[in-house]
Amino acid sequence: MKYTVLTIFPEITDAYFSASIMARAVKAGFVEYRSINIRDFAFDKHKKTDDAPYGGGAGMLMLPEPLGLALEAAGVSKKTCPETMRQSPVRKVPGKKVIYLSPSGRPFTQKTAEELVQNEELILICGRYEGIDQRIIDLYVDEEVSIGDYVLSSGEAAALVLIDSTYRLLDRVISAESLREESFAGGLLEYPQYTRPEVYDTIKVPEVLLSGHHENIRRWRLQKRLEKTFALRQELIRRGEEAGLFDTETIKMIEEMRKNHERDQGN
């Protein structure tokens, strides 16, 4: 997987690629990274990359010319003909996606991460200020992605969320077992975990985890995942049911939990 990040602060994203598991993934060749500094494509002597919006309003917008040139330098061609505004048939580069991180984009989820990791290259545009000129979106962007219903001061933090949640799904970056058991895998949140010492601040590790009884541990973990998901994210359980994600054991446990919940509500 190759990540190309277009930004006016490459030092933010560069740092991420030079530490911890990501640095190892880059060294091993599972991940490729380049940052492109949009400011390098500014024309004036002050290297200006923003200006006030037409029609008035608060804040500044990123200028289209430096961003367009930075995209062309990244090897991206226009997807849309500027005269007719029709999609260009030559643009469809399989495996390459241009993404603009924006609070008005498609909500980003684990499923989006799983879809995006199928690409060979993700080209991520990080906006600053109030955003970017719409013509860049019309001409170059394949998808606008939002990481949540809140507004960040910059796209770099959002790009790093997208990068982190996708590269870890690549083969050999994280073990398949960890991926299988983590939150959202199988449509449920993760079970609680404990490590040494056995007693911390008077709280003891649940007995079942010390028992060495694998079947009981498996059942306990499933029960805990269900309880937590039921308490915090009931919509995930409904979605999992609709998508047929759960096996008969899980379905029975959900029914039991609902019965207990209704009984408790009745009291």
When the beta carbons of 129 and 184 are compared against ligand ADE, the nearer one is 129
Q: Which of 13, 80, 8, 79 is nearest to 49 (CA)?
A: 8
Site membership for ligand ADE, residue 112 (CB under 6 A): no
Handedness of CA 98, 100, 105, 108 (dihedral sign): positive
Site membership for ligand ADE, residue 61 (CB under 6 A): no
Return the residues of window 14-33 that contact ligand ADE according to CB under 6 A.
Answer: none
CB of 12 to ligand ADE, least distance (A): 13
CB of 17 to ligand ADE, least distance (A): 19
Q: Considering CB under 6 A, how many residues would be counted as binding ligand ADE?
A: 11
Site membership for ligand ADE, residue 148 (CB under 6 A): yes
Site membership for ligand ADE, residue 102 (CB under 6 A): yes
CB of 127 to ligand ADE, least distance (A): 6
When the beta carbons of 151 and 170 are compared against ligand ADE, the nearer one is 151
Site membership for ligand ADE, residue 54 (CB under 6 A): no
Stretch that binds ligand ADE, among 33-41, 149-157, 164-172, 239-247 (CB under 6 A): 149-157
Site membership for ligand ADE, residue 60 (CB under 6 A): no
CB of 126 to ligand ADE, least distance (A): 8
Stretch that binds ligand ADE, among 11-19, 90-98, 148-156, 243-251 (CB under 6 A): 148-156
Site membership for ligand ADE, residue 151 (CB under 6 A): yes
Q: Which of 183, 66, 44 is nearest to 133 (CA)?
A: 66
Phi and psi, residue 11, nearest 5°: -60, -25
When the beta carbons of 125 and 188 are compared against ligand ADE, the nearer one is 125
Q: Which of 261, 257, 177 is nearest to 225 (CA)?
A: 257
Exposed/middle/buried for residue 47 (C-beta within 10 Å: 0-12, 13-18, 19+)? middle
One of 45, 111, 150, 262 touching ligand ADE (CB under 6 A): 150
When the beta carbons of 151 and 179 are compared against ligand ADE, the nearer one is 151
When the beta carbons of 128 and 225 are compared against ligand ADE, the nearer one is 128
Draw the binding track, 72-101, toward ligand ADE (x: CB under 6 A; -: no contact): -----------------------------x
Q: What is the C-alpha separation between 147 and 142, in angstroms, rounded? A: 16
The contact set with ligand ADE (CB under 6 A) reads: 101-103, 146-148, 150-152, 155, 158
